[in-house]
Structure 1
Amino acid sequence: MTTEAFNTAEEVRRLLDEGRISEEALQAITGITPEALRSFVSEDANGLTAEPQALSGDQGARLSVLAAQLTVGMRIDDDQRLTSIYESLTVECRLSRSSIAALTGIAIEDLERVLSDPQAVSFEKRYELAIKGAYLINAVNLARGN
């Protein structure tokens, strides 16, 4: 098994070059100024520069997470992503399955079924679970200040 280092500047540059995201969208999502973004993606491939760092540590970390989610994360299977939403809500947020069912209006049986075998749930029900789970994750992230 080989592991490759994730080069954030290279991945962001590729996303921009391929037209998968615009500089304006990156600025709106991250709050990083266009000048700082341009400076960051134009740095030497090794990240070596005589100039001060274009991004603060927090900005670099947030941009790195975003770039990873928009590249590597997009390759995750949809059923795996769906179960991960609900696993995050139960493990990280400590919401019980019954609380999630009550908050989303989803039958607990459907929630249990999708967590054990997403393919055993109809496409329509998986769609409902995905939409409601994404909404709940967004609510949690807003409350966390993410």
Structure 2
Amino acid sequence: MALLYMSLEKYVQTVTIRGVGPDQSWARFSAMYPPPLISNREAAHLRATADTLRGERRGRLLRFLGSADIVDAAAVPPEVIATGVSFLCLDTSCNALVRLMLVPEGQADLATGHICVTSPMGLPFLGRRRGEIVTCPTLVGVEMAFEIVEVPAPLTVDSGS
């Protein structure tokens, strides 16, 4: 068992996420997951937001954009978490299900589960899918881990026949 642990640890240490240093806690996604997938429209909004930010928050957002796979909006599957998408996740520290939604700057309300997409808690969810484990820092310096349980596809309106 110790041999398996050592070889896995060696593998994880050698894998890096494109454009992200290993010391950024927000970027410590499991090495088994692909880079976050975001639309070119979402990326443009995030770049515009980064221009209004300063310091570490701006740097975190720019590093995220550098590590993400940015594709045409039509190519993003509906089960990918994006701004405005409500999703269900499991807080692994207390085994509680939590419904969250990523929202733009200024619309966050933690009591209703709306978290700012550019915040240290929101950014790690962006571009992720069901089944992935996301870690994010808290204000007290402890990392929380969430397993994404459900990302419902957006409802489509049937125009009738």
TM-score of the superposed pair, with normalisation by structure 1: 0.26
More helix by share: 1
More strand by share: 2
If asked which structure has higher relative contact order (CA below 8 Å, sep 6+), I would say 2
TM-score of the superposed pair, with normalisation by structure 2: 0.25
